[in-house]
C-alpha cells in the first residue's frame, strides 16, 4: 500500500470522526407503568407489624386528588353531598364529612368507639384511612410517627367498606378505572407547562457542513447546546456533516402537540373518563359546556345522582354504625334521605 493510499485512508477516518450527532435519548417509557398499583389477586400479611397491607397504594390514592383537578374536586363533592344530609348522631358534622371523604377516597373508613369510665360507647371518631390498617384480629392499626403503631381491638372499631369482589379485608375505591386517565390529564398539563417554560419552542437543529470545522470547536458547540435552555422534553440538536448537501438532513415530526391542539383533546377526553369513573354528571362538575345547548338542569342531575350514588353511600355508613350492638338510640346516625 503506497503513501497516497494511506493518506486517503486517514482522510476517511478523519471524515468519519467529524460526522457526529447528539442524541435526544433512547430510554423507552413503559405504557402501563402503574399497572401493579391496581392489579392484585390476594393481600400480603405483614408478619412483623401484624397487619394486612392494603391492596392499592394509599399514598397514590391520597396524592392523586392533588394531581388531577376533576378527580380531586369530585371526591370532595361526593363527600360533601353525603355530609349535607346529616341530621344527628354519634359524630359531629365535621367528623361525618371526614368519614365520607375517607370512604370515597380510600374505599373504607374505621370508626373508633370512644368510651366513658363505665366502658360505655359515648361517640365515634373516624380514624385516618391513609394511615389505618386492618389488624390480625380485624381491629385497626394506625401507623404513627417514628415507626410507632397504635392498635385498637376489633370490638372497639366499626369498619365501613365499599365492597371489593377480590378481597373482603379492605374496601376498594370505585373510581380505579379512571386512574390512568387522571394521570394522563396531569401529564398533559405538565407537558404544556414545560412548553411555556421552555420559551414556547420545541428546540432547534444546528446544521453544519464545514469540513474544516475544528473538532475542539465542534465539541464546545455541542456542550453549549446541551447546557442551553430546554426543559424536560425540549432539547436542541447539533449535527456536523462535512460537505453535506442541502436538505441532506430532515426532521419529520410524528405529531405536533401545538398546531393540532392535541392538548385540548387529551384534557377533554381524560376529564370525561374521570367523570365516567365516578359516574358524576358533567352538569354538577363545573365543566363549561362546549355548545349552546348547555348541560341541562343541574337540579334534576342532583336528584338522580343523590338517588343512585349519594343515598347508597349514606346507607352504607348508617347500616354499619346502627347495626353495631353497642350503638343505638341517640348514638345512631340520622340522615335526611327524603
Rounded CA separation 335/320 (Å): 14
Instruction: Identify the pLDDT of residue 31.
Output: 47
Instruction: Identify the pLDDT of residue 254.
Output: 44
Only one residue has cell 407503568, namely: 33
102-128 pLDDT, tens digit each? 999 999 999 999 999 999 999 999 999
The number of CA neighbours under 13 Å toward the Cβ of 323 is 8
Rounded CA separation 294/288 (Å): 8
Instruction: Give the domain ranges of the chain.
Output: 42-174+305-329
Instruction: Identify the pLDDT of residue 259.
Output: 44
Instruction: Identify the pLDDT of residue 62.
Output: 94
Residues of the chain short of pLDDT 70, as ranges, are 1-37, 195-207, 224-239, 241, 244-245, 247-261, 286-295
Rounded CA separation 118/140 (Å): 22
Pairing mode of beta strands 205-208, 237-240: parallel
Rounded CA separation 79/278 (Å): 12
Instruction: Identify the pLDDT of residue 191.
Output: 77
In the chain, which ranges are E strands?
Answer: 20-21, 45-46, 51-52, 86-88, 108-115, 121-127, 132-135, 140-143, 149-152, 157-161, 205-208, 237-240, 334-335
Instruction: Identify the pLDDT of residue 180.
Output: 86
CB distance 71 to 274 below 8 Å: yes
Q: Using only C-alpha atoms, what is the Rg of the chain?
A: 30
Rounded CA separation 148/226 (Å): 48
246-289 pLDDT, tens digit each? 765 555 454 454 545 677 888 888 888 998 999 998 877 766 65
Amino acid at each position: 500500500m503506497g503513501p497516497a493510499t494511506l493518506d486517503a485512508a486517514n482522510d476517511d477516518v478523519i471524515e468519519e470522526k467529524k460526522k457526529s450527532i447528539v442524541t435526544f435519548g433512547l430510554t423507552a417509557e413503559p405504557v402501563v407503568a402503574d399497572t401493579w398499583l391496581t392489579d392484585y389477586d390476594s393481600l400480603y400479611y405483614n408478619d412483623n407489624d401484624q397487619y394486612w397491607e392494603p391492596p392499592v397504594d394509599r399514598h397514590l390514592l391520597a396524592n392523586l386528588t392533588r394531581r388531577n383537578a376533576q378527580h380531586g374536586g369530585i371526591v370532595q363533592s361526593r363527600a360533601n353531598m353525603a355530609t349535607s344530609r346529616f341530621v344527628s348522631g354519634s359524630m359531629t358534622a365535621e367528623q361525618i364529612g371526614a368519614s365520607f371523604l375517607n370512604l370515597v377516597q380510600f374505599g373504607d373508613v374505621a370508626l373508633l368507639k370512644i368510651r366513658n369510665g363505665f366502658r360505655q360507647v359515648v361517640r365515634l371518631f373516624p380514624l385516618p384511612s391513609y394511615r389505618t390498617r386492618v389488624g390480625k384480629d380485624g381491629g385497626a392499626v394506625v401507623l404513627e410517627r417514628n415507626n410507632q403503631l397504635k392498635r385498637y381491638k376489633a370490638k372497639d372499631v366499626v369498619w365501613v367498606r365499599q365492597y371489593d369482589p377480590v378481597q373482603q379485608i379492605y374496601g376498594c375505591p370505585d373510581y380505579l378505572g379512571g386512574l390512568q386517565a387522571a394521570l394522563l390529564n396531569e401529564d398533559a398539563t405538565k407537558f404544556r407547562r414545560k412548553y411555556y417554560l421552555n420559551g414556547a419552542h420545541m428546540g432547534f437543529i444546528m446544521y453544519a457542513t464545514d469540513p474544516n470545522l475544528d473538532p475542539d470547536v465542534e465539541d464546545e458547540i455541542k456542550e453549549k447546546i446541551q447546557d442551553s435552555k430546554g426543559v424536560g422534553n425540549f432539547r436542541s440538536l447539533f449535527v456536523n456533516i462535512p460537505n453535506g448537501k442541502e436538505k441532506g438532513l430532515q426532521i419529520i415530526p410524528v405529531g405536533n402537540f401545538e398546531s393540532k391542539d392535541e392538548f385540548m383533546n387529551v384534557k377533554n377526553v381524560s376529564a370525561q373518563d374521570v367523570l365516567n369513573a365516578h359516574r358524576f354528571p358533567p352538569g354538577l362538575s363545573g365543566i363549561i359546556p362546549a355548545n349552546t345547548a348547555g348541560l341541562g338542569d343541574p337540579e334534576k342531575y342532583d336528584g338522580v345522582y343523590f338517588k343512585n350514588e349519594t343515598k347508597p353511600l349514606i346507607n352504607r355508613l348508617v347500616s354499619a354504625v346502627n347495626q353495631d350492638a353497642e350503638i343505638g338510640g341517640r348514638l345512631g346516625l340520622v340522615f335526611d334521605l327524603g
